[in-house]
Amino acid sequence: MQIDQAIDWGTLQLQSSESPLLDARVLLAEALEVSLTYLFTWPERLVDKTQLSDYQTFIEQRKQGQPVAYIVGYREFWSLRLKVSKHTLIPRPDTETLVEQALVRLPASSSAICDLGTGTGAIALALASERTDAKVTGVDKVPEAVQLACENARQNNIENVRFLQSSWFSALAGQQFDMIVTNPPYVQSCSHYLSEGDVRFEPASALTSGLDGLEDIRVIVQSAPDYLSQSGWLLIEHGFEQSKAVQALLRAAGFTNVTSEADLGGHLRITCGQHLQ
């Protein structure tokens, strides 16, 4: 079977996927251990029996609902290739909006940044890669996530970052940051979203946060002022219907310059507040 024929077959098998053609290409590239560019350059090249068997296994896993990132073991985020595991959420393109908004608000001088619930390290590593003068700390309560984030830092040759095991601020006593960023759990525990698509395979502890989805955000907002320097920023990713509630929480905690920013789909996804007291 040729590469182009294998892609056509895989695309047909994955019609229930949101992106069957892209999924088929990514999975075939993994089976062949080549880049996506190779597939476009050599569509007539033959796929050998071992490669075809691997590809068919990947396609079957995807048909069962397994996320592509878990099958191939990595996800592209920002300008980075990040290893993923079932202990962490898969980094999503919308979260790049959080990175963009953080970069806009960071002071020109060297700064200290904290990423709460770092998972794969995606946000922390993206910020550290863009601001090599910054000192970035990423924390996660899951030890396997901390280990994975450290590995991603090494593989991407990013040295101005450290990762710690911490339940939110528990391991950060006495530390101050110019910016705190977080993509915390924010899905309602009874949401139908949890039984759909890729999230069925992702850790529920990284997704859900009480009946209204705001329990963890409340904890973060109430605690953050003790860890922010004067004029420091708190940036929170949240659900597309939660911006007003998160804005209210920030204002009640004394934050000023509170605004919400839209993600790639035009939904208000990131809410920011400044600590001026």
Domains belonging to the chain, first-starting first, are 3-64 (1.10.8), 86-275 (3.40.50.150)
Which strands sit side by side in the sheet containing 177-182, from one edge to the other?
Answer: 161-165, 135-140, 112-116, 177-182, 228-237, 268-275, 256-262
Tens of pLDDT, residue by residue, the chain (277 residues)? 899 999 999 999 999 888 899 999 999 999 999 988 999 999 999 999 999 999 999 999 999 888 899 899 998 999 899 999 888 888 988 899 999 999 999 999 999 999 999 999 999 999 999 999 999 999 999 999 999 999 999 999 999 999 999 999 999 999 999 999 999 876 555 545 544 555 555 455 555 555 666 888 999 999 999 999 999 999 999 988 889 999 999 999 999 999 999 988 899 999 999 998 6
Among residues 179, 196, 236, the alpha carbon closest in space to that of 213 is found at 236
Among residues 119, 115, 148, the alpha carbon closest in space to that of 131 is found at 115
Q: Where are the alpha helices (DSSP H) in 14-173?
A: 20-32, 36-41, 49-63, 68-72, 96-105, 122-130, 143-155
Residues paired with residue 75 on neighbouring β-strands, in sequence order: 82
257 by DSSP, 3-state: which? Answer: strand
Distance of CA 204 to the CA centre of its chain: 15
Phi and psi, residue 193, nearest 5°: -55, -30
Side chain identity, residue 92: R
The tokens for 239 are 């659900």
**Residue 95 · residue 104 · CB < 8 Å:** no
| Residue 229 region by backbone torsions, left for phi larger than 0, else alpha for psi between -120 and 50, else beta | beta
